[in-house]
Amino acid sequence: MTDKMNLTRAQFDEVMVPNYAPAAVIPVRGEGSRVWDQQGTEYVDFAGGIAVNCLGHCHPALVGALKEQGEKLWHLSNTMTNEPALALATKLVEATFADRVYFANSGAEANEAALKLARRYAIEKFGEHKVEVIAFDKAFHGRTFFTVSVGGQAAYSDGFGPKPAAITHLPFNDIAALEAAVSDNTCAIMLEPLQGEGGIINGDPEFLRAVRRLADKHNALVIFDEVQTGVGRTGDLYAYMGTEIVPDILTTAKALGGGFPIAAMLTTADIASHLKVGTHGSTYGGNPLACAIGNAVMDVVNTPEVLDGVKHREQLFRDGLAQINEKYHVFSEIRGKGLLLGAVLNEQFAGRSRDFLNASVAEGLLTLMAGANVVRFTPSLVIPEADIVEGLARFERAVAKVAG
């Protein structure tokens, strides 16, 4: 058996499919907003597993839920339900617009379910012609073939043969283009209320209102992909709660399990009725272990203390990044909301977000990219203020190195 002490980054290239290019650093332990690698080097975590570790690493409430459920029941097929799934679905229904919940394992699966449901609903209610999905440039909805085709980044969907049909991509926040495109053939308009992978781009309030108005006019559904914005990330439990509109279908994953794989699709009773028995399913969807942890996440995050704390921490990040930029003049703006923030590189440093990421790692800080021009920050929602201060100090040293 392989000695775990001898496991190295080089072995990735020997045993793993090369669709990832992981860093040389291999973390082995985490606590709160700090992680340690194989050599014992400590890092401040501003990445949060890409907006997943909403309560940091090894939060006591999540560890406790895993241990407790792990001694009770691990898995059942969906020929039976289970108590953690029922409890979590009830929490989600009580906290949102939704009446019904479908559980899956990942954001892509939740989005796949949402798209299938939207088409099924439209076909059964209005006819076979009503199948068009309108989506937006720079959007990201997952890596299944349907979701990656709906996502507005062709580089991710090209090269796999014929793509699913009846998908139209439009410029994000362009009301005129949307008005020209929506028709009675449209079954759904799918969007992130705040685009994550596409560069941390907020949906304009007027644009979001237009999405809702045009969908209603043409009997189309609005799907909000809140895989990245959900579960407190923006300072609201879900980002739609900070807008003037309510979607018909919402997808959530990432932070819902705080690091344990789980996802959900939320919708109304009327729409949900079109996924009759046998029309869709998931072996692990609603898994008791995952749902037990999801319950713990909801109990901690969906509180005024945590949600208000996100808004306070956002300001600390904005103030700190502004101070750094006053010295080094590398950012044109700070975009986003809550603890989903993007520092946009100015023309002088355009295309160099990876340089900032690599320099940050060298200084003991984990950050992210959102394309070649944006440094992204998605830390724990409860990151201690002292860790924000220390992480920004490390980031400043990284910026100084890149800026020369």
Q: Which domains does the chain have, with CATH numbers?
A: 4-58+304-403 (3.90.1150.10), 73-301 (3.40.640.10)
Is 163 noted as a catalytic residue in this protein?
no
Query: Element (H or E) spanning 175, and its range?
Result: helix 175-181
Q: Calculate mean pLDDT across residues 340-356.
A: 97
Distance from C-alpha of 326 to C-alpha of 328, rounded to nearest angstrom: 6
Q: Kindly state the tokens that stand for 252.
A: 């959530």
Residue 6 pLDDT level (bands cut at 50, 70, 90): confident
Q: For the chain, give the percent of residues with pLDDT over 70.
A: 99
In this structure, the number of other CB atoms found within 10 A of the CB of residue 380 comes to 25
pLDDT in tens, 102-160: 999 999 999 999 999 999 999 999 999 999 999 999 999 999 999 999 998 888 899 99
In this structure, the number of other CB atoms found within 10 A of the CB of residue 50 comes to 14
Contact yes or no for 184/220 (Cβ under 8 A): no
Distance from C-alpha of 300 to C-alpha of 69, rounded to nearest angstrom: 17
Eight-state DSSP code of residue 141: -
> Phi and psi of 47, rounded to 5°?
-100, -35
Residue 5 pLDDT level (bands cut at 50, 70, 90): low
Query: For the stretch 123-154, what's the b/e string if a residue is b when 16 or more beta carbons lie within 10 angstroms of its beta carbon?
Result: eeebeeebbbbbbbbbbbbbeeebbbbbbbbe
Which position among 45, 225, 236, 387 bears the catalytic label? Answer: 225
Tokens 């720079």, residue? 138
Which position among 248, 254, 260, 317 bears the catalytic label? Answer: 254
To 5 degrees, how large is the angle CA 93–CA 97–CA 98? 50
Alpha-carbon torsion (113, 250, 152, 262), positive or negative: negative
Give the least confident one: 71-75, 195-199, 335-339: 195-199
Instruction: Report the chain's mean pLDDT, rounded to a whole number.
Output: 96
Query: For the stretch 185-204, what's the b/e string if a residue is b when 16 or more beta carbons lie within 10 angstroms of its beta carbon?
Result: bbbbbbbbbbbbbbbbbbbe
Q: How far is CA 188 from CA 38, 317, 401, in A?
A: 47, 36, 46
Q: What pLDDT score does 354 carry?
A: 96
Distance from C-alpha of 142 to C-alpha of 260, rounded to nearest angstrom: 17
In this structure, the number of other CB atoms found within 10 A of the CB of residue 245 comes to 17
CB-based contacts of 22, cutoff 8 Å, min separation 6: 9, 12
pLDDT in tens, 158-196: 999 999 999 999 999 999 999 999 999 999 999 999 999
Q: Kindly state the tokens that stand for 291.
A: 């749902």
Q: How far is CA 177 from CA 170, 207, 347, 397, in A?
A: 7, 11, 28, 43
Residue 2 pLDDT level (bands cut at 50, 70, 90): very low
Tokens 């201690």, residue? 384
Q: Are strands 42-45 and 34-37 parallel, antiparallel or unpaired?
A: antiparallel
Which position among 46, 136, 140, 377 bears the catalytic label? Answer: 140
Q: Calculate mean pLDDT across residues 312-321.
A: 98
Q: Calculate mean pLDDT across residues 81-95.
A: 97
**3-state secondary structure at position 334:** strand
Q: Are strands 194-195 and 201-202 parallel, antiparallel or unpaired?
A: antiparallel
Is 254 noted as a catalytic residue in this protein?
yes
Which amino acids are annotated as binding site for N(2)-acetyl-L-ornithine, given as ranges?
143, 282
Which amino acids are annotated as binding site, given as ranges?
107-108, 140, 143, 225-228, 282-283
Q: What pLDDT score does 3 carry?
A: 52
Distance from C-alpha of 176 to C-alpha of 71, rounded to nearest angstrom: 56
pLDDT in tens, 245-301: 999 999 999 999 999 999 999 999 999 999 999 989 899 999 999 999 999 999 999
In this structure, the number of other CB atoms found within 10 A of the CB of residue 342 comes to 28
Residue 1 pLDDT level (bands cut at 50, 70, 90): very low
This prediction has a pTM of: 0.95
Is 225 noted as a catalytic residue in this protein?
yes
Residue 19 pLDDT level (bands cut at 50, 70, 90): confident
pLDDT in tens, 214-249: 999 999 999 999 999 999 999 999 999 999 999 999
